[in-house]
Amino acid sequence: MRFKILIIGLFLSCIVQLKAQMVGDKTSMDLGAIENYNNDTVYFYFTNTGSKTVYFLPVQPGEDYQVLCSKKTIEPGEVFTIGLIYYTEKRGRFSIEVPLNFSSSFEPIKIKLSGQIKSIHPNALTVCPSIENSKPLNNRVPLNIVVRDKVTNEQIKNPKVNVVQNHKTINCVPGFRNIAFQCNCEYGRIKVNAEKEGYLPNSMVFDYNQENNTCLIYIEPLPIREPDTLRSVYKPQIVVKKDTAIEPPVVYVPASTVDNGFNSPAYKPNHLIFVIDVSGSMKDSTKLPYLKASMKALIEVLRPQDYITLITYSSKVRVVFENVNGQSKSALLYAIDTLTARGASLGAEGVNLAYDMAHQHFIIGGNNQIFLATDGLFNGNHFNENDLFKMVKHEANKNQIRLTTIAFGKTAKALTFLSVLAEKGKGKLLRILNLNTDKEVLIEEVKASSMH
């Protein structure tokens, strides 16, 4: 019995000793009256007074605060710095309490911050609710990124934002109301990327430093057609001469449009839907760059009566732009330039979505054509090759929606698959193997498919 009591006593003594290891100079701070509050960092200092190494444990995420730390390991006698940032849009009195967990104690040490906010700085609208809320402290002013609509100047909710620094991509986390972002990167020149569905992606170079820590980046909405012209109806105009000879349909050619041989009345209007494989296997030095060059050549000769949709697929299926008029060349070319390859290959889902788009924006009497560009087979959920062949054949025969394949790579099985798919879709199997000789292969295919 005495032995048990002795063991328990020693155990409790150890706990008391461990609790005493981390001693703070203070655990509560009142900031008083604050003019123009701007998410300022408040510092607390703790000393390891014990004889053993102490580890700072992750802090549970908070919706309105962020915890910064100088390091995660505190040696005996070492001073440990904690930074606390409180985020709010409200004026008036505030008080928050944050628990800090150390390996030396079973109970957290609580730090308290209070004050009275008289006014809010315009940039004080960012919070970083990371999975592990304790971030390394480096005495830097946090980088804030705000994404705005280029047309309306309104802040955009839920965009995707990242930063590239020293060839390393750093994902940014959403902050206050999902309209601001914070990224943990070093001072210096960075590249900020922002994108959102329905907008053209944008990138900008930003010099991040203590005084210049809020980056505004603008993204432009994708051009859209007027609601009353969502679906084009092509009606040939038949002109009868005195000798009763019938001429082909006449298509208006703007004077500012370069002819390129495509503005002849012999060609129908087009809705071209590109389904592009941007999985990791397309990250070849020639595959995606050759495809992008060919698509850009095609975009240069599109007419006002032509429309184009772009769908990409990898681990996810994404609509880059939908049913955009051929006159919006700069926006289309820019979007093509932003394509990068990574992830898996959910091609079947991309093709299904392409047919949905083809039906939604079908041009009656025009050429409605899907282009599937890939270097391999599909690995989509519940994918069945025969079912895909049947669907493609049905859409070509009954609904006049062609499917042409653009094959990259040299895998025999993949080439056979794409060849059969193109045959079922009343299209062709195209190859872009040499940019000098094959760059205009898409233009020639569109001309052949849209000719009367």
Specify whether the CB–CB gap between 190 and 206 falls below 8 A.
Answer: yes
Q: Could you give the 3-state DSSP secondary structure of residue 202? A: strand
What is the CA 61 to chain-centroid distance, rounded? 24
pLDDT digits 0-9 by tens, 208-255: 887 777 888 888 887 654 433 333 334 333 333 334 343 343 333 443
- A 10 A CB-CB count for 318 gives 15
Contact 66, 58 (CB under 8 A): no
> What span, in angstroms and rounded, lies between the C-alpha atoms of 206 and 190?
5
Task: Tell me the average pLDDT across 289-312.
Answer: 88
Q: What is the C-alpha to C-alpha distance for residues 66 and 32, in angstroms, rounded to an integer?
A: 20
d(CA 293, CA 336): 9
- For residues 328 and 326, give the distance between their C-alpha atoms in angstroms, rounded to a whole number: 5
Of 8-22, 144-158, 307-321, where does mean pLDDT reach its minimum? 8-22
User: What local confidence, expressed as pLDDT, does residue 16 receive?
Assistant: 40
pLDDT over threshold 70, residue 297:
yes
pTM: 0.47
- Cα separation, 386 vs 101, in Å, equals 58
Task: Find tokens 């240069």 and name the residue.
Answer: 300
Q: What pLDDT does residue 393 have? A: 93
Torsions phi, psi of 292, nearest 5? -60, -40
Under the banding of pLDDT at 50, 70 and 90, the label for residue 119 is: confident
User: From the CB of residue 428, how many other CB atoms can be counted at a distance below 10 Å?
Assistant: 18
**First-last CA distance in the chain:** 102
Query: Any bridge partners for residue 136, and if so which?
Result: 69
Helix (H) or strand (E) holding 414: helix 412-424
Domains of the chain, start order = 20-136 (2.60.40.10), 143-221 (2.60.40.1120), 227-450 (3.40.50.410)
| DSSP state letters, 140-155 | PPPEEEEEEETTT-PB
